[in-house]
Structure 1
Amino acid sequence: MALDEAKENDNIFKVDGYNVIIDKDLSAKFSVVNIYYNSFEYYGNFKITTDFIWKDEYHYCDWSKKW
């Protein structure tokens, strides 16, 4: 996850006043995304879960490269 501007190969999802930007190829690989953030308990209570299942072939995809 990173702060980023949308590009032509991205999907933009508007959720609770935020833009969630996900690469189109990557977003085609899952159907569920949960974003959890709770700033009331302690710093760093942030988590993303999906139904995405990793395959070795994904190592060579542009969306899997480090920023």
Structure 2
Amino acid sequence: MDSRELTSRTEELTARRDRLQRLNNGDRALLPSLACAVLEELARTRLRPGHAATRRSLTALPTPR
């Protein structure tokens, strides 16, 4: 392997490790990082759990046209 292949493989493995860590942390694992950040902020503001669940659903769903 040359250095470009090693760099690419390292990036792939790092991304995979990050995804696995997110899977280990719960149901936010498949959400984009920005959506997770929004949910964390909601948790910090101590809104009721139903509100956070609604926001999670709205964040994950595509916008209708």
Q: TM-score, normalised by structure 1?
A: 0.25
Higher relative helix content: 2
More strand by share: 1
TM, length-normalised to structure 2: 0.26
